[in-house]
Amino acid sequence: MAKIDLGKISTRAPKGWDKEKTKAKTQALLTDLSDLQNRLYAAASHSVLVVIQGMDASGKDGLIRSVFGSMNPQGVTVKSFKAPSAEELAHDFLWRVHPHVPAKGMIQVFNRSHYEDILVTRVHKWCPDEKAKARIKAINDFEQLLVEHNHTHVLKFYLHLSPEEQQLRLKERISQPEKQWKYNANDFAEAKLWKDYRKYYHEALNKCQAVPWTVVPTDQNWYKEWVVANALHQLLKSLDLQYPGLKK
């Protein structure tokens, strides 16, 4: 697969893309996705795992709400992976992840994921390089297992945000009352580690390609939502799922 170089990929929509027209296209996709997701749920022969990774303030929560919020809640679940508990740390790093992979018929969204164990752990020097290499292999094996043995389709999105846009969004968490609940005093300290995060994201994007990544320009939410909705729509459409007939 081609090497991913984030420095050569824009964080904004391609020139010529119209915001309002794109939002209308996204809405049409979401309407269609509602039926496609119902077919997935009813047929119960395939499942979908959506992995969403990105820097702080890249808009993971808003993306999930916008793209998945109108779907049948019986068929979509979201798992947010935060700092591991003492019990989770006592097991291998995938122990807390595997119970949340989707059953057939389900769409499972990971808000952050198993990739945190080769990203934040390395930025803060909690995970040495040799252990990280072993984890990268385990991640590739894990994702291949899901794809090859459980009819699970994995979509992985890296939300590609510029440092300038990140700073604007972090400041909004202080100034805008409706966003203050998201504020974390540690956010700005983490933002200073941008180069370290970018280094390890490059490695994750390039060495964990058993399932390919989609790099999503993220400075404009309307374009980010279209990219993710379009990728999910293309996947579900390609499965050509039909509603089951009457049970005999």
To 5 degrees, how large is the angle CA 33–CA 34–CA 37? 75
C-alpha 230 chain-centroid distance: 14
What is the structure's pLDDT at 82?
Answer: 93
Region of 187 please: left (phi>0), alpha (psi -120 to 50) or beta.
alpha
Average pLDDT score over residue span 178-192: 90
pLDDT digits (tens, 9 = 90+) for 20-39: 999 999 999 999 999 999 99
Average pLDDT score over residue span 132-149: 97
**Tokens describing residue 55:** 């820097």
What is the structure's pLDDT at 2?
Answer: 79
Residue 57 CB neighbour total at 10 angstroms = 23
What is the structure's pLDDT at 248?
Answer: 72
Q: How much is the mean pLDDT over the chain?
A: 96
Q: How confident is the model at residue 185 (pLDDT cuts 50, 70, 90)?
A: confident
What is the structure's pLDDT at 21?
Answer: 98
| Domains in the chain, CATH or no CATH each | 31-239 (3.40.50.300)
Three-state SS for 216? strand
C-alpha 236 chain-centroid distance: 17
What is the structure's pLDDT at 29?
Answer: 98
Is the per-residue pLDDT at 89 higher than 90?
Answer: yes
Q: How confident is the model at residue 193 (pLDDT cuts 50, 70, 90)?
A: very high
What is the structure's pLDDT at 238?
Answer: 98
pLDDT digits (tens, 9 = 90+) for 212-243: 999 999 999 999 999 999 999 999 999 999 99
Average pLDDT score over residue span 149-164: 97
Please state, in angstroms and rounded to a whole number, the distance separating the CA atoms of residues 203 and 82.
21
- Letter for the amino acid at 134? A
What is the structure's pLDDT at 247?
Answer: 79
What is the structure's pLDDT at 51?
Answer: 98
Please state, in angstroms and rounded to a whole number, the distance separating the CA atoms of residues 164 and 129.
30
Average pLDDT score over residue span 150-175: 96
Average pLDDT score over residue span 40-50: 97
Numbers of helices and strands, H then E, in the chain: 9, 5
pLDDT digits (tens, 9 = 90+) for 47-83: 999 999 999 999 999 999 999 999 999 999 999 999 9
What is the structure's pLDDT at 20?
Answer: 98
What are the distances in angstroms from CA 191 to CA 93, 125, 160, 163, 171? 25, 16, 14, 8, 12
**Tokens describing residue 205:** 């994007």
Three-state SS for 161? coil
What are the distances in angstroms from CA 227 to CA 3, 83, 234? 20, 28, 11
